[in-house]
Amino acid sequence: MFDKVFARQFLAAWPRAEGTDEIDRIAKSPTSIWAVVPRYGRFLFTLVMMFKPRRILEVGMANGVSCAYIAKAQLSYLQQDGAHVIIDPFQSTQWHNAGRAMLERLGLDRNIEVIEDCSIHAIPNLEKQGQRFDLAFIDGNHCLDYTLADVLASDRVLCIGGLIVLDDSRAFGVRMAVPYLDRYRVNLTRIRFDNWLVHWWREHISGRRRMTVYQKNSEDVRGAPGT
* pLDDT tens readout for residues 33-52: 667 889 999 999 999 999 99
- For 74, the 3-state DSSP assignment is helix
| Amino acid sitting at position 91 | Q
For position 3, what pLDDT does the model report?
79
- DSSP summary character for residue 87: E
H or E element that contains 21: helix 21-28
**Within a domain: residue 221?**
no
Regions of the chain where pLDDT drops below 70 = 33-34, 194-209, 224-227
**Within a domain: residue 26?**
yes
Q: Which domain holds residue 16?
A: 4-216
Q: Strands of the chain (E only): list them.
A: 56-59, 84-87, 112-115, 133-138, 158-166, 188-190, 212-216
For position 201, what pLDDT does the model report?
55
Beta pairing class for 158-166 and 212-216: antiparallel
* CB distance 180 to 190 below 8 Å: no
For position 19, what pLDDT does the model report?
94
CA contacts within 13 A on the Cβ side of 183: 5
CATH code at 167? 3.40.50.150
H or E element that contains 148: helix 144-157
Q: How far apart are CA 148 and CA 69, in angstroms?
A: 25
Closest of 63, 125, 70, 118 to residue 96, by C-alpha: 63
Give the number of domains in the chain: 1
